[in-house]
Amino acid sequence: MMNTACDVAIIGGGPVGASLALALRDSGLAITLLEARSPEGAPVDPRALALSYGSRLVLERIGVWNEIPQVTGIRTIHISQKQALGRAVLEASELNVPELGYVLPYHALHGALQHALEASKATYLTGAAVTQLSSETDGARIAFRHNGVEQTLNARLAVVADGGKLLESSHPPEITDYGQSAVIAHITCSAPRPGTAFERFSAQGPVALLPYNDGYELVWTAAHEKAQEMLHWDEAAFLAQLHQHFGDRVGEFLSVGTRTCFPLRLRRAPEITLAHTVLLGNAAQTLHPVAGQGFNMGLRDAWELAQEILRCKPEALGEAAMLAAYRNLRRLDRNAGIRFTDGLVRLFSNDLPLLSGGRAASLSLLDCLPSAKKFVARRMMFGANG
């Protein structure tokens, strides 16, 4: 058994944990990042991420934005609902930003973060699966297995960015099961509108088309059972159903790539800090992807935690006052992001006639009121603290 120590131990080298390690790379602190997957064995994650303009700014500051290949900009977001009037269009030009957001593959972001980490001073261990986290009086104690050897790491601050598994049984999260899964795939069509993303709501759940390369990344939500069926429809049936569901805005759908299904739920840790410990990203809150907020919020968690760590006196790292300051910093944005996403799913995933009229009116109102549009777009770009 090997026993080592560091200032900050980050559990999970997904996009959020990796971003935190990079935000702290010049801090002079000893940072250790433990990632369960080994690079060779890691499956390619098929999801596409819509990043906000605010996330671009953070990724620029941590030095990875220009290293991400294959990014497509979003200049227009078109929001509508099936079988009802009312729509809203958000334009980057009206909001004085070059783009409202960006679409990129999860694995392209992951690759750029990995390269930057390898070049940084952080100790980065892959194939290092954490099995236990406990708190001691002066810090956190982490047990993990690396290269077949059981090891322990003592850290003044442990950051849990593992997506949510490690603390699931000791600190059960609050879970809202929406009864929905998302089917994702790359699609092409006869009349793509470059730079335009579409979000269309229906009683079955939302469907999003995110512009990417020669077509769109599709995120199509449906009840779990239906989503499983959709995976097995032949290509012609899938494209015809999508056309029926989405309408004519991008012409005929021509092809669909590999389809993958993700179950969707809101998962919210009861506390985002524990003794000498902070929970970040999906470990703190896993959101429905309806408004593409999950990673954007996780990145804001990472950025604000890094700022709090840099601000605090060295002896305060991981202590109660520092953890309380971080909780206060994140409260508004986290609660607003969860409410916004959860509210959208509940408001739009039903076919009650009274609500349908209200939704149409809200979309039309949003479209006509520049101040309301700016408010919504700023929330999506920068979060509630922006």
Ligand X SMILES: Cc1cc2nc3c(=O)[nH]c(=O)nc-3n(C[C@H](O)[C@H](O)[C@H](O)COP(=O)(O)OP(=O)(O)OC[C@H]3O[C@@H](n4cnc5c(N)ncnc54)[C@H](O)[C@@H]3O)c2cc1C
Q: Which is nearer to ligand X, 86 or 164 (CB)?
A: 164
H or E element in which residue 225 lies: helix 224-232
What is the spatial distance between Cα 63 and Cα 319, in angstroms, rounded to a whole number? 29
Binding of residue 294 to ligand X (CB under 6 A): yes
H or E element in which residue 321 lies: helix 320-348
Select from 7, 99, 162, 304 the one that contacts ligand X (CB under 6 A).
162
What is the spatial distance between Cα 302 and Cα 225, in angstroms, rounded to a whole number? 35
Question: What single-letter amino acid sits at 287?
Answer: L
Binding of residue 47 to ligand X (CB under 6 A): yes
Select from 21, 184, 207, 344 the one that contacts ligand X (CB under 6 A).
184
Binding of residue 101 to ligand X (CB under 6 A): no
Give me Rg for the CA atoms of the chain.
21
Contact string 113-152 vs ligand X (x = CB under 6 A): ----------------xx----------------------
What is the spatial distance between Cα 281 and Cα 161, in angstroms, rounded to a whole number? 6
Q: Which of residues 233-262 bind ligand X (CB under 6 A)?
A: 262
User: Nearest distance from residue 223's CB to ligand X, in Å?
Assistant: 16
Q: Give the SS3 label for residue 298.
A: helix
H or E element in which residue 360 lies: helix 353-368
Position with the least CB separation from ligand X: 14
Q: Which is nearer to ligand X, 86 or 101 (CB)?
A: 101
Binding of residue 11 to ligand X (CB under 6 A): yes
Select from 166, 197, 305, 323 the one that contacts ligand X (CB under 6 A).
166
What is the spatial distance between Cα 296 and Cα 59, in angstroms, rounded to a whole number? 11
Which among 25-33, 89-97, 158-166, 234-242 is the span making contact with ligand X, rule CB under 6 A? 158-166
End-to-end CA distance of the chain: 46
Select from 35, 199, 304, 308 the one that contacts ligand X (CB under 6 A).
35
User: Nearest distance from residue 357's CB to ligand X, in Å?
Assistant: 29
Q: Which is nearer to ligand X, 272 or 356 (CB)?
A: 272
User: Comparing C-alpha atoms, which of 193, 223, 188, 189 is closest to residue 205?
Assistant: 223
Select from 85, 150, 165, 357 the one that contacts ligand X (CB under 6 A).
165
What is the spatial distance between Cα 173 and Cα 160, in angstroms, rounded to a whole number? 14
Binding of residue 318 to ligand X (CB under 6 A): no
Binding of residue 171 to ligand X (CB under 6 A): no
> CB-side exposure of 95: number of CA atoms within 13 Å?
27
Binding of residue 383 to ligand X (CB under 6 A): no
- Give, in order, the Cα–Cα distances in Å from 44 to each of 106, 107, 110, 111: 9, 6, 10, 11
Count of H-run helices and E-run strands, the chain: 9, 20
Q: Which residues pair with 219 in a beta bridge?
A: 184, 208
Size of interface with ligand X, in residues (CB under 6 A): 34
Q: Which is nearer to ligand X, 206 or 294 (CB)?
A: 294
Select from 219, 222, 227, 317 the one that contacts ligand X (CB under 6 A).
219
Binding of residue 282 to ligand X (CB under 6 A): yes
Q: Which is nearer to ligand X, 273 or 356 (CB)?
A: 273
What is the spatial distance between Cα 346 and Cα 108, in angstroms, rounded to a whole number? 32
Other C-beta atoms lying within 10 Å of the C-beta of residue 267: 19
What is the spatial distance between Cα 116 and Cα 15, in angstroms, rounded to a whole number? 12
CB contact set of 152 (below 8 Å; sequence gap of 6+)? 1, 2, 3, 4, 141, 142, 143, 144
Select from 29, 117, 157, 161 the one that contacts ligand X (CB under 6 A).
161
Which among 21-29, 43-51, 75-83, 135-143 is the span making contact with ligand X, rule CB under 6 A? 43-51
Which among 134-142, 159-167, 267-275, 342-350 is the span making contact with ligand X, rule CB under 6 A? 159-167
User: Nearest distance from residue 257's CB to ligand X, in Å?
Assistant: 15
Name the site residues for ligand X (rule: CB under 6 A): 11-17, 34-37, 47, 49-50, 129-130, 161-163, 165-166, 182, 184, 219, 262, 281-282, 289, 292-296, 298
